[in-house]
Amino acid sequence: MMSLPPPLHQRNLTLQAWQSTLYWLWTERNARLHSNTFRSVDQLFKLIDRQLRNKLQSFREENPARSSLMMQSWLRFS
């Protein structure tokens, strides 16, 4: 039996979280290799969380209902 695809807001949130995580991990990798600066895991989580919250807020003008659903889902996980 095939399952139903997730709702659009959930797919968008997953994609945004994935992109944010990859961006900050790659930035941290480069900083460690080239600048010898290190961030803790907690700092990385805060950066990812802040970037996602800002991004979700930026969707508010475009589609308030979807933005609200995405923010509610994110706050449930964080």
Which pLDDT does position 4 carry in this prediction?
77
CA angle at 16 for the pair 15 and 17, rounded to the nearest 5°:
90
Contact 57, 67 (CB under 8 A): yes
Q: What is the pLDDT of residues 7-27, one digit of tens each?
A: 888 999 999 999 999 999 999
User: What's the pTM value of the predicted model, to 2 decimals?
Assistant: 0.86
In a domain, residue 46? The reply is: yes
In a domain, residue 1? The reply is: no
Whether pLDDT at 1 is above 70: no
Q: Which residue has the tokens 């889902």?
A: 73
In a domain, residue 55? The reply is: yes
In a domain, residue 2? The reply is: no
Domain count across the chain: 1
Helical residues (DSSP H) of 1-78, grouped into ranges: 8-34, 41-58, 64-77
Nearest to 73 by CA among 2, 13, 8: 13
In a domain, residue 54? The reply is: yes
Q: What is the pLDDT of residues 22-71, one digit of tens each?
A: 999 999 999 999 999 999 999 999 999 999 999 999 999 999 999 999 99
- Residue 69 belongs to domain spanning: 8-77
Nearest to 69 by CA among 61, 16, 60: 60
In a domain, residue 13? The reply is: yes
